[in-house]
Amino acid sequence: MPSLLASSLVWLLAATSTLASTVVDASFKIDVHSHVVPDFYRQALIDAGYPVKTLGGVATLFTDGFPVSVWNLTDHIAAMDTMGVNYSTISVSAPGVNFLAGKGLAAAALATRLNLAMYSYTQAYPTRLGAMCILPLPDIQASLAEIAFCLDVLRFDGVGLYTNANGTYLGDGALDPIFDLLNARSATVFVHPVAPGCSGAALGHPDPMTEYPFESVRAMENMLLTGQRANYSSINMIFPHGGGAMPYLATRIAGMASLSFLGSLNVATTLAQFKGYFFDTASSTTLIQLMAMKEFFGGTSKILTGTDYPYVPLAQAKPGLAAIQANGNFTSAEMAQINNQNALSIFPGVARKLGFAI
């Protein structure tokens, strides 16, 4: 299927030279949100003291109060086939390597090992998988080196960040050197939520249940109020899970931010900044979630396909993907945007790799 699509795309681009709505079949799916859990990473989490509990008679590792899925590359590709996903950008979910912050070179070493593992997966399936670099933040110098290594040597699709790195939130001026480099490269960044920097916010319940969606809002709000997003607007930034609660809170935040004690920010400018992000559909495939995104963006040009596999199991992810068009009452042209066109617009390297010349 990819080869046929590539042939059609090359022909069309020769005539138009731009990415148009008819370039790729609407059903060609690019999943911008899926994860890997190598065995050595699982062991590193266990060694760091993350709990292993019995769940359904099976010893199960938990992070942020949520079970860590058993994962292997063969099953990942099989799951993509079952879901009808043609290409996935893989990344490492929370907590990343944040748990090693302050422990010398351990975080940087584990990040590099994870990036090399993801590279090996992409080389095994070059037309099915790409990767988002994991960084050993809040170590700035090690993270800058890892970005250069991943983008220049490993040729990754983009960079993965977290809403906060051991309590340092996006928007913090300490991260400006990272944003300088990413902005200069017009890089694409996938921002995954982690447990909030304020302990106890989840009231003892799993952080992914409600805190992850609000973590995305915290990060976007902080980047607004500190001016970091405005200063680094060339970075393409993806927030998962429908943008968390942002479609519902954007006007409230914009109104508050317009008050003098918060900087008298222009409401329209604030909303335009929020609407400049990309949101994925992972765990956000119901009518109310899809309509909130569409209304927020004024269309579907910023909505991307995401599954959150394997943390969202196949039994949920597959029907969720299948329900998007009906639940959102999307046209075929809108589904083409959600499934692939929007992703290709911010991942030009993927387009080139698949033969979809831009």
Quickly state the pLDDT bin for 202 (edges 50, 70, 90). low
Which structural domains are found in the chain, ordered by start? 27-353 (3.20.20.140)
112 is written with which tokens? 């590099």
pLDDT score, position 73: 98
pLDDT score, position 16: 36
pLDDT score, position 200: 62
Model pLDDT for residues 12-68, shown as the tens digit of each residue: 333 333 443 336 888 999 999 999 999 999 999 999 999 999 888 889 999 888 889
Say if residue 152's pLDDT is above 70.
yes
- Residues of the chain with pLDDT > 70, as a percent, come to 92
The answer to whether residues 196 and 164 touch, using CB atoms and an 8 Å cutoff, is: yes
pLDDT score, position 101: 84
Identify the residue whose tokens are 């109020």. Answer: 225
The answer to whether residues 34 and 283 touch, using CB atoms and an 8 Å cutoff, is: no
Higher pLDDT among residues 258 and 2, named by residue? 258
- Residues of the chain with pLDDT > 90, as a percent, come to 81
Q: What angle do CA 163, 301, 245 make, to 5 degrees?
A: 35
pLDDT score, position 210: 81
Ranges 34-43, 63-72, 104-113, 342-351: which has the least confidence: 63-72
pLDDT score, position 355: 85
Ranges 4-13, 293-302, 339-348: which has the least confidence: 4-13
Quickly state the pLDDT bin for 156 (edges 50, 70, 90). very high
Model pLDDT for residues 233-242, shown as the tens digit of each residue: 999 999 999 9
Higher pLDDT among residues 91 and 57, named by residue? 91
Ranges 98-102, 149-153, 305-309: which has the least confidence: 98-102
| Cα distance between residue 77 and residue 68, in whole Å | 19
- Three-state SS across 179-216? HHHHHHCCCEEEEECCCCCCCCCCCCCCHHHHHHHHHH
Say if residue 155's pLDDT is above 80.
yes
Instruction: Report the predicted TM-score, pTM, of the whole model to 2 decimal places.
Output: 0.91
164 is written with which tokens? 């906060």
